[in-house]
Structure 1
């Protein structure tokens, strides 16, 4: 289990990020049009998994905006923004912001994605939400980069993540 902090207070997640070099676990997530998306749907592309607790916080919104801006310049790469927010909230946010280069996916049902990827927060005010993390998967489904952001109120290291997909 990973230990992260929320405003300096230690909280625990359900596990550790998938190891680099390992196959990414499959997932079933809900898109903003209520369709189901799996890892297989993105095979043949590099995938940036931008994972966060809620689209309705400043830091999470900043990560979606930042990756939306960068995604337009990435070759053969899809950016998936994943949280436990309802698909309606994700669609509302991206519509209001005019964000069209990222794909929002929700783990609002069972939370299996968070459990399978070791990201579910187990205690504190964000219990059952996902910790802030970046996972990059290559065209064949293998994990090539991970970052578990140690302080949940901080943004990920965009430069390192983007370098991993070059």
Structure 2
């Protein structure tokens, strides 16, 4: 079983464990406009899938802002940030933070994406939220990069994720 940590305490993750080389599952999350957002599987662009607990935390907000800047010039990449925040809160966040280069979606209804990618926190104070993780999916739908951040309160390895996107070209 995969794990992460929250403030040093081990947190078990539930769902299907997805690793580099695996076929990326497709899942649907809810966009800020309440539309369905299809994530994963094979697409005509490389996908950067970012899961995080809540946009309403300093670390998650900083991560989303950073990826928004980093992917600005990467037209080869479709970037989606997924949290359990309600779509209305996500929309407000995007508006106030100037998030325009990526899609923000919510997994709050049935947690399909978090379960499909094995990043749903099963216990601890953040039970029911998504762990902080980054996946890069190539055009054929294969996972070419995966990072489940060891400590939920820490930021991911941005450079490694961006390098994986460039290598997947």
Q: If the length of structure 2 is used for normalisation, what is the TM-score? A: 0.93
Would the alpha carbon gap of residues 60 and 17 (structure 1) be closer, same or farther in structure 2, given more than 3 Å must change? farther
Show CA shifts across 1:66-120 (max 9, x none).
0000111213101100011111111100100111001001101011211111111
Structure 2: any 5+ residue segments left out of the alignment? none
Q: Distance in 1 between matches of 2:113 and 2:7?
A: 25
The answer on whether the counterparts of 1:136 and 1:144 sit within 8 Å (CA) in structure 2 is yes
Going from structure 1 to structure 2, the CA distance change for 1:99 and 1:15 (only over 3 Å counts) comes to same
Match runs of 1:27-106 below 5 Å: 27-39=27-39, 43-106=43-106
Taking structure 1 as reference, are residues 135 and 41 closer, same or farther at Cα in structure 2, changes over 3 Å only?
closer
Alpha-carbon separation, structure 2, partners of 1:11 and 1:119 = 11
User: Is the aligned partner of 1:139 residue 2:130?
Assistant: no
Residues 38-76 of structure 1: CA deviation (Å, up to 9, x unaligned): 137981011111110000001111110000001112131
Unaligned 5+ residue runs, structure 1? none
Instruction: Specify the SS of the correspondent of 1:60.
Output: helix
**Deviation above 6 Å: which 4+ runs of structure 1?**
none
Match of 2:115 in 1: 115
1:15–1:150: structure 2 CA closer, same or farther, 3 Å change rule?
farther
Q: Which residue of 2 aligns with 1:127?
A: 127
Counterpart-to-counterpart distance in 1, 2:147 and 2:68? 19
Post-superposition Cα deviations, 1:8-59, rounded to whole Å, max 9, x if no partner, equal 1111111564111111011011111111021379810111111100000011
| 3-state SS of paired residue (1:12) | strand
